[in-house]
A = this chain, B = another copy of it.
Amino acid sequence: MDKRTKFTLDEKEMPTHWYNIQADLPKPLPPGLHPGTGKPLTPDDLAPLFPMELIKQEVSTERWIEIPDEVRDIYRLWRPTTLFRAHRLEKALDTPAKIFYKYEGTSPPGSHKPNTAVAQAYYNKQEGTKRITTETGAGQWGSALSFGCACFGIELKVYMVAISYHQKPYRRIMMETWGAKCVPSPSPDTKTGRDMLAKDPECPGSLGLAISEAVEDCVTHENTKYSLGSVLNHVLLHQTINGIETKKLMEQADAYPDIIVGCIGGGSNFAGLFLPFVKDKIDGTKPDLRIINVEPASCPTVTKGPYAYDFGDSAKLAPIVKMYTLGHGFIPPPVHAGGLRYHGMAPIICHLHQLGFVEARAEHQIATFKAGVTFARAEGIISAPETNHCIKVAIDEALKCRESGEAKTILIAHSGHGHVDMAAYDAYLSGKLIDYEYPKEMVEAALSELPKVG
């Protein structure tokens, strides 16, 4: 047996450019629309929110975009990340499949998120931004951007969904350790927040509301920009460093995936890994490559939602984009995989799904934790609840191989560790975890509110 477990690159071999899928799409992405006018977005529309370099990246069709040296210097703290061959998991499953996982959990905040957080902080710094606002749900993104802003000495204000702020203090403390200010949303710091608190002082908050507060704070303060951690094209672009590394490392392992699996919430982690591979499917080099997006059965955006123009946020302040959506007013059930609780999906992923290059699957949370525990006992790593979704599908595919005798190569996009999600494992291990059914009626109600555009 080939015993090699880890495939690594020296930091000298770290990619120098991000890969921009927009150069290779057989059809261009449908344009984003202005939330107020419904007309195609212009760079000027976005200028109050983002630095110009990121706005340019959002619409660029250049294939390779250079990673600034200052960003690479910080990436070096944890990148390139390791590709693992899951020998011990294969043995536990008694499968002829070859399972690999690219692990993003060694970054300081413990996930893929800083790949874009550091880049966004850098471009803001370059253009004179003194302060950034953002929102966060369970806190993965907020902690990553806190780290990014600490690297460049930018002030950061994070609006954290109130219920998570109170129930999950560890991510909030991480943000503060890196020097950011984090407040529960709704907060008294914005008109949106004050209005909501006047209506309901005990309001638990939502991601949509937190986005509204962060955007309002941005546009009402000097030298302040706003930052988003997923969905947008420039975010996915920054994540492609992961896929470029993985392609090199799979070559080192003398392998190419038959199946790539990843979890999708807004889609940035998985897209970052698969975009450099999907290129091979688009150009016909690897027609049989399967790319499987895995989402929660209780928030099945791609598997059940229509492909339609919708707002990125519930308060209708964010751009309108064409995507699979469950409706901008939909509030997903409280699954532990907080990073997958989003009504929409990255337009790039939706477009590739429409074109038939990627597929989607939905999983219930109890089954995903069962898979996560199997993975932890074999490979050691305790994975984030989000990641457990694609581990579940990888195990299913490996077990199919056991039946068929095929030695397929399965690649998992492992987004990070679950060190601050142990309460979810506790619920699973003590039999208290529940599955949430697909809330069909709530989705239908939310879908009736789609904007009449496009």
Contacts and interface: CB of A to CB of B under 8 A. Distances in A.
A173 B424 CA distance: 9
A420 B423 contact: no
Contacts of A429: 173, 176-177
A169 B380 contact: no
A426 B377 contact: no
B5 A377 contact: no
Chain B CB count within 10 A is highest, among A173, A179, A382, A417, for A173
Interface in A173-219: 173-174, 176-179
Contacts of A422: 169-170, 173-174, 177, 420
A197 to B, nearest CB: 23
Nearest to A78: B380
A432 interface: no
Interface string A146-176: 0100110000000000000000011001101
A225 B73 CA distance: 48
A84 B106 CA distance: 13
A30 to B, nearest CB: 38
Interface residues of A, number: 45
Chain B CB count within 10 A is highest, among A87, A170, A174, A177, for A177
Interface string A402-422: 000000000000000101101
A66 interface: no
A376 B176 CA distance: 11
Interface stretch (A6-14, A48-56, A235-243): A6-14
Interface string A121-141: 000000000000000000000
Contacts of A76: 3, 5-6
Interface in A99-138: 106-108, 110
Contacts of A110: 419
A330 interface: no
A425 interface: yes
Contacts of A376: 108, 150, 177-178
A379 interface: yes
Q: Tell me the number of copies of this protein.
A: 2
A373 interface: yes
Interface in A234-258: none
A367 interface: no
A289 interface: no
B419 A382 contact: no
Contact of A5 (B5, B77, B381): B77
Contacts of A73: 3, 5, 87
Contacts of A178: 376-377
Contacts of A379: 77, 108
Nearest to A153: B377
Nearest to A369: B177
A422 B420 CA distance: 9
Nearest to A143: B382
Contacts of A11: 4-6
Nearest to A170: B422
9 contacts: A4-B11, A77-B88, A108-B379, A108-B380, A147-B380, A176-B425, A177-B422, A178-B376, A178-B377
Given A151-B380, A170-B420, 8 more contacts: A8-B8, A106-B106, A169-B422, A169-B426, A173-B422, A177-B377, A177-B425, A178-B377
